[in-house]
Structure 1
Amino acid sequence: MHYSSAQEDVLFFQTNWGYSGKTIDFIKKAKDSGYDGIEIWASNIPIQQKTISQALKMFDMKVIFLCGSNPNLPYEKSLEEYIGYLKNTLEQNPIAINSHTGSDFYTFEQNMTFISEADKLSKLYNIPIYHETHRGRFSYSLPETIKYLEKNEINLTLDISHWMVVHESLLNKQKKLLDKVIQNTNHIHARVGFEEGPQVNDPTAPEWKNTVDRHFDIWESVILKQWNEKKVVTITTEFGPPNYMPTEPITRRPMSNQWEVNVFIMNSLKDRIKKIKN
């Protein structure tokens, strides 16, 4: 299939996970690196909200906000806080929300309530809320997530790196289940995991080529699905800092540069997208 539209139908977002500088400096650096926007945890503090909003306008950048329920709280309290957090975040008018939803220790029905409440608010504010595939949440595994998708249509953020380590596999034999997930995916978290961990030490290293290629193949499937549905593709590069980033013992020196790795993933995806369109 030939795609001839310009690359504005794919938007790239940078994570501030591990960034210790000022918000305005982070947003400028993301802009200068070639990103279209940022993905950060939403703030409930008005002065911080204003700072973020002003910086986004200054650099003409978009934002996806992260929200999440607190899985350490009892179910009722966690749900109450989650609803309030979502409302506050939706009022800030992001292009979307990426949600860490529920808990792997809550029941199926309890987790469905989190999803249902988010869906109501998403429709009320006309802002999409995507539920990330994530360890420790309702979506901690591929077969468990399928149970929820069989019950209801759920908008997902696909972070496939979590499932690579959960299932100790690159999921090469799970096409049928993955296809179901991909059909419900609206946002990508682009990090490369492997059978023994959620993040390879350096995706540019040749020993990870097969693993990196596997992730790119899955991401391409999501991209093509979004294009076929005439939707904009949004991708957040999300390699994390230490201790997510493997480090040397004693010195704790990171095995690679987090920012550079995320930019590498973005630029590699841009190159792949050009090849798809041609």
Structure 2
Amino acid sequence: MKLEIFRTLWGYTASKAQALDELLAAGFDGMEARLPLEARDRTEFGAFLRANHLPYISTVFSAYEVLPKQSAAPAEHLQDLERKLAWAAELAPRFVNVLAGNDRWGLAQQVEFFGQALELGRKHGQFCSFETHRSRSLFNPWVTLDLIRQLPDLRFTSDISHWIVTCERLLDDPHDDLGPFVERVHHIQARVGYDQGPQVPHPGAPEYARELAFHQQHWEAIWRSQQRRGYPVSTLTPEFGADGYLHHLPFTNVPVADLWSLNQWMARTERQHFDRFHHSTQP
């Protein structure tokens, strides 16, 4: 198994051509970015991806952006998801990373929704990897495990930093058995969270060594599972971002770190981590 690392465009404001130059110089393998919702933008982006032979992971949201519309019922989410999966197919992504549903729905609604979402993915020929994310259906590990018991075909993008905030602790107690989830993770979003936030100021800071170690143990468990499942490639996107995630100094509003530098640090560190892991598992 090999590791391919994707660059997120979250918080990036320059051109995609510049983003491509930077990601290639930094040793990244592809790009993860939100699906363009306008036809003209999709046409331009598709031409860019094809011209540069660039692997792409498409990110979509159901009804409608990161924070779901609170009045939208599951049917509205499914209608929106179907439209976006059809649009995503135009760009031939590696797979579609989906932020789906709403944390306020009961379990029966969640099960019905995800069962139909899986069918929509099959209908449009798109592999859907559902992301763990606050405000969405998969905001909580225990709800996610309940869903898995009823829908074992679900596959996931693990951004476990969200669960750390939701549960307000590292999930390293012996009773925190995330095994059924780990066995279904398809993609990793590598950001280090802590008990009071989804993003530490810098993952290399010694005061966050325990948090980094927990996340790396989780990612290594996923790699081990993917090896057993016969994955030839594991994908990982360093996803330190803006929008309230990046810490700023009070009064001056100066960011404490540069996002691209943070994501490059995460990419280098996890490339080395994966190489050590891979070497240790060879006969």
Which residue number in structure 2 is paired with residue 256 of structure 1?
257
SS at match of 1:177: coil
SS at match of 1:246: coil
Higher deviation after alignment, 53-62 or 206-215: 53-62
Matches within 5 A, 1:25-174: 25-70=18-63, 71-72=68-69, 73-75=71-73, 76-153=75-152, 154-174=154-174
Q: Say yes or no: does 1:24 pair with 2:17.
A: yes
Confirm or deny: 8 A CA contact 1:83 1:117 kept in the other structure: no
SS at match of 2:146: helix
SS at match of 1:83: helix
Question: How far apart, CA to CA, are the structure 2 residues paired with 1:175 and 1:37?
Answer: 37
Confirm or deny: 8 A CA contact 1:31 1:59 kept in the other structure: no
Confirm or deny: 8 A CA contact 2:5 2:30 kept in the other structure: yes
Question: How far apart, CA to CA, are the structure 2 residues paired with 1:227 and 1:170?
Answer: 25
Confirm or deny: 8 A CA contact 1:28 1:59 kept in the other structure: no
Higher deviation after alignment, 245-254 or 68-77: 68-77
Question: How far apart, CA to CA, are the structure 2 residues paired with 1:260 and 1:122?
Answer: 35
Q: Which runs of 4+ in 1 moved over 3 A?
A: none
Question: How far apart, CA to CA, are the structure 1 residues paired with 2:52 and 2:174?
Answer: 42
Structure 1 residues 156 and 150, CA gap change in structure 2 (3 angstroms): same
TM-score normalized by structure 2? Answer: 0.90
Deviation at 1:83?
A: 1.8
SS at match of 1:105: coil
Confirm or deny: 8 A CA contact 1:67 1:100 kept in the other structure: yes
**Percent same amino acid at aligned positions?**
26
TM-score normalized by structure 1? Answer: 0.92
Question: How far apart, CA to CA, are the structure 1 residues paired with 2:175 and 2:3?
Answer: 24
**Which stretches in structure 2 are left out of the alignment for 5+ residues?**
none
**Which stretches in structure 1 are left out of the alignment for 5+ residues?**
none
Deviation at 1:175?
A: 5.9
Question: How far apart, CA to CA, are the structure 1 residues paired with 2:28 and 2:132?
Answer: 23
CA deviations over 1:102-156 (Å, ceiling 9, x no partner): 0011232333333223211322344310110111111111111111011111101
Aligned pair count reads 271
Confirm or deny: 8 A CA contact 2:110 2:147 kept in the other structure: no
Question: How far apart, CA to CA, are the structure 1 residues paired with 2:39 and 2:6?
Answer: 23
Deviation at 1:277?
A: 2.2
Question: How far apart, CA to CA, are the structure 1 residues paired with 2:144 and 2:201?
Answer: 27
For 1:211, the aligned partner's letter is E
Confirm or deny: 8 A CA contact 1:86 1:118 kept in the other structure: no
- RMSD of the alignment, in Å? 1.6
CA deviations over 1:153-182 (Å, ceiling 9, x no partner): 110111000011111111111565311110
Confirm or deny: 8 A CA contact 1:13 1:38 kept in the other structure: yes
